[in-house]
Amino acid sequence: MANYHLAQLNIAQLKAPLESPQLADFVANLERINALAEAAPGFVWRLQDEEGDATAIRPFGDEVLVNMSVWQDVQSLSDYVYKGAHTEMLKRRREWFDKVEQAHQVLWWVPAGHCPDVREAAERLAHLREQGPSAYAFSFRQACAAPDLAESDGRNGAHGTSFRAGLAP
């Protein structure tokens, strides 16, 4: 069993209120997409409220949605995001969300069994925006190997981790 899992946060700036006709298709697909994530190989945990989603959790402001989850590894998350039914929603994101000029997604390693909170995630995103990718906070394009993997295979980079080419298409 791996000692670390991959945590991810992504945020999205709403173009209209969640209850608006413009976001109706997005809202109608939330339950289905969340169920697909939970059934995906490598899925560990996702942030959700009593309603089963995270749309009411707004730590970045009223117009910003958050999605936060934990996966076994970078490849599992990448496969879910870019190779499955989730891609149909990803292709339509400009219908529902404004383009964010800064980083809108951050990845980081957590000890297996740890479920991060939004404060921890916000700190990682801020670090990525201010400092760029590192072992502390990174992206698909410049993924960082898990600490236990980097230490065991001799690919040690800064802080005992190594970067590898991104997985995102």
Query: How far apart (Å, rounded) are the C-alpha atoms in residues 108 and 54?
Result: 20
- Stated pTM of the model: 0.86
H or E element at residue 31: helix 24-39
Query: How far apart (Å, rounded) are the C-alpha atoms in residues 100 and 74?
Result: 23
Q: Give me the numbers of helices (H) and strands (E) for the chain, helices first please.
A: 6, 7
Give the pLDDT of the chain (169 residues) as one tens digit per residue. 689 999 999 999 999 999 999 999 999 999 999 999 999 999 999 999 988 889 999 999 999 999 999 999 999 999 999 998 999 999 999 999 999 899 999 999 999 999 999 999 999 999 999 999 999 999 999 999 999 755 544 333 333 344 444 444 3
Of the candidates 165, 130, 127, the residue with the CA atom closest to the CA atom of residue 145: 165
**Domains of the chain (ranges plus CATH)?**
4-165 (3.30.70.100)
